[in-house]
Amino acid sequence: MSGGGTKLLILGSTGSIGRSACNCVRRFRERFSAAGMAAGSNVGLLVEQIREFSPSSIYIADRENADAVKGLFGEKVNVYCGGNGLERIVNETDYDILLNALVGAAGFRPTVAALSRGKRVALANKESLVIGGDCIRAVVNPNKKPSAPIDETSLIPSLLPIDSEHSAILQCLQAGGGVEAAESITVTASGGPFRNLPKDSFAAVTPEQALNHPTWSMGKKITIDSATMMNKGFEVIEAHHLFSLPYERIRVCVHPQSIVHSLVEFHDGAVMAQLGLPDMELPIQYALSWPQRLPISGKRLNLSNIGSLDFLEPAPDKFPCLKLCIDAGKTGGTAPAVINAANEVAVDLFLNKKIGFTDIAKIVETELNEHNPVKAISVNDIMDIDKDVRERVARKYR
């Protein structure tokens, strides 16, 4: 494409994923342009991005900040804010790909809105698939029955993953003959900062310790989810929906070096893996350029410098969130929405030092056990359950 042909709407443009997406636009200005951007509270960086990329529309959560941005740019930029602003910018902006890098359940409605418009979604907001995978599959494949062959119910290419693990799976599938040739997939996990910590030391873990991830630089919420391995459970649910594989064919393996991002075993016994340095630039750019590969300069993987690659089974007794999450995925319906909402509130409570590290799993398990899951659900149903669980957990720990 030329002339900035592929127009991007970047939700979360001031976060780490959004900033990397902006790097992609910088590298290939003849191929990509930023039609719209959305940010939370980092007004200073958003203003810089508006000046550099000239989006036609922007969203900013706070009305006062939105008015300030409007005052700077006037009629040059259409400014959205408020509760329905995210859906409005997704529904009213002219773009080709929505890059959803929002954190938490707030990203679900924008994902559904974009897919309902027939737009492609590059997804970093894993909660969209965790809480609403069935809804999203119904939007993408409205005439397909749940029992349809897996190659007919895959979300690719309507939805392309940005998570390094799912990007790795997609790359392996593309090279190996597609999802119909896959026997199983293995999602790798770093094991977080507490892989070698004795179980009896977990109760004393502080937020500062949990935020010190050994290999990845991420936002606070996802870093805590990595420390509990809830994040890996979410990624199993994501993989189930993205590639329409049953949970029995999705495995988790701890790989501390974070060099092998995931593996696919094919029905002839071959195993393909995607390797690379722990850097999100590649999966972000691949989601935007798929099925093509575009060049990225920079440091390259040198296996002799790495020395060795280790692979271990996860320890469910130390990381109960992993099993809780996968069990919720297998139950389906509203169960994943409950576990996600309870986890988001629990993580926030932990970061604010109102609960201990091990209380995160206890809160999630309590909410899941007390919930009666429902199968047939709509977007509104999911968000209502999300709201109810959040309010209930928050009331308990005021």
Q: Report the C-alpha gap between 278 and 188 in whole angstroms.
A: 12
Q: Are 121 and 159 spatial neighbours (Cβ–Cβ below 8 Å)?
A: yes
Question: Which CATH number is associated with domain 1-148?
Answer: 3.40.50.720
Q: Are 46 and 60 spatial neighbours (Cβ–Cβ below 8 Å)?
A: yes
Q: Is the pLDDT of residue 375 over 90?
A: no
Domain ranges (residues) in the chain: 1-148, 192-228+315-396
How are strands ordered across the β-sheet holding 120-123? Answer: 78-80, 57-60, 32-39, 6-11, 97-100, 120-123, 159-161
Name residues whose C-beta falls within 8 Å of residue 224's C-beta, 6 or more positions apart in sequence: 207, 210, 211, 347, 350, 351, 360
Convert the pLDDT of each residue in 68-86 to its tens digit: 999 999 999 999 998 899 9
Does the domain at 192-228+315-396 match CATH 3.30.450.40? Answer given as no
Closest CA to 20 of 279, 306, 249, 222: 279
pLDDT of residue 153: 56
Band (4; pLDDT cuts 50, 70, 90) = low
Q: Is the pLDDT of residue 258 over 90?
A: yes
Band (3; pLDDT cuts 50, 70, 90) = very low
What are the tokens at 325? Answer: 């999450």
Q: Is the pLDDT of residue 150 over 90?
A: no
Beta-strand relationship, 78-80 and 97-100: unpaired
Percent of the chain surpassing pLDDT 90: 90
What are the tokens at 213? Answer: 């991830």
Convert the pLDDT of each residue in 208-242 to its tens digit: 999 998 888 788 999 999 999 999 999 999 999 99
The arithmetic mean of pLDDT across residues 292-317, rounded, is 95
Q: Report the C-alpha gap between 245 and 198 in whole angstroms.
A: 34
Question: In the predicted model, what is the mean pLDDT of the chain?
Answer: 93
